Amino acid sequence: MGKATTTTVLAAALCAAVLLLSTAHQLDAASCNPAALSPCGGALLGGAVTPGCCAQLKAQQACLCQYARNPAYRNYVNGPAAQSVTKACGLPKMKC
């Protein structure tokens, strides 16, 4: 291969790697959906913790620290009610 061909192949490989990493990051961000925790709304206001709430908390567990850093959700995720709900669902205490 000539120098120009090698450079073109390397540039194409680099672009493909960047595209894959970007897509993976977008998929991770897309899977974090705070609206999916809506079944826990009643429990956060003192109601019963439902199986649907626990299922959503477990599905969104990897996102909870992200929500805790977000000013819009921080009070919900870090509050004492949220700690009670996560405990009732059998989730470990968050370590962010």
Domain ranges of the chain: 1-31, 32-96
Q: What is 32-96's CATH topology?
A: Hydrophobic Seed Protein (1.10.110)
**Per-residue pLDDT tens over the stretch 22-40:** 333 333 445 899 999 999 9
Q: Name the band, by pLDDT with cuts 50, 70 and 90, for residue 66.
A: very high
pLDDT of 95 reads 87
Please give the C-alpha separations between residue 12 and each of 9, 21, 31, in angstroms, as whole numbers. 5, 14, 29
Give the position of tokens 């009670």.
Answer: 84
**Per-residue pLDDT tens over the stretch 70-80:** 999 998 888 99
